[in-house]
Structure 1
Amino acid sequence: MIKYFKESYNELVNKVTWPTFPQLQSSTVVVMVATVIFAIIVLIMDLSFENLMAVIYKTLAGLGR
């Protein structure tokens, strides 16, 4: 177990390439833009489904009378 932690520490310190701050900022912006686009798509789908269900319910309510 101790050997595992020593090797893990060594790999994190000496072998892993950490991103620079500008790379990190760029990646963050990409994730934020993608999240906003995905949220807008989900909103559009939700509103469309809500309107579709309202039409279906009104039609079915009209048939029952």
Structure 2
Amino acid sequence: MTVINYIKESFDELKNNVTWPTWADAQKLMVTVAVFSILFSLATWGVDTVFTKLIGLYFDLIG
């Protein structure tokens, strides 16, 4: 199988066999991804802040 043949078959697969979401569904999914991305980044920031303070306290105690 050549690379050109592979690309043609991949394009055909995407064009004919994949069910694409409607525009409204895509918008809902985008909002869901954005919300969870923001929540995950806030959770990561919170954990990072807590560990930074804990490590600072630990070094204050031993130093």
Work out whether 1:21 is the aligned partner of 2:23.
yes
Q: Which runs of 5+ in 2 are unaligned?
A: none
How many percent of aligned residue pairs carry the same amino acid?
A: 34
CA distance in 1, matches of 2:60, 2:21: 56
Unaligned runs of at least 5 residues, structure 1: none
CA distance in 1, matches of 2:8, 2:55: 59
Which whole-Å CA distance do the structure 2 matches of 1:20 and 1:26 have between them?
10
Give the secondary structure class of the aligned counterpart of 2:49.
Answer: helix
**Alpha-carbon distance, 1:34 to partner:** 0.5
Q: CA deviation at 1:11?
A: 1.8
Supply the distance in 2 between the matched residues of 1:4 and 1:50 (Cα, whole angstroms).
50
**Normalising by the residue count of structure 2, what TM-score does the alignment of the two structures yield?**
0.81
Mapped partners of 1:6, 1:58: distance in 2: 63
Would you say how many aligned residue pairs link Structure 1 and Structure 2?
61
- Return the letter of the residue paired with 2:27: Q
Q: 1:37 is matched with which residue?
A: 39
Q: Secondary structure at the match of 2:10?
A: helix
1:47 to 1:6, Cα distance in 2 relative to 1, 3 A: closer
Q: 1:49 aligns with which of 48, 51, 54?
A: 51
**Partner of residue 12, structure 2:** 10
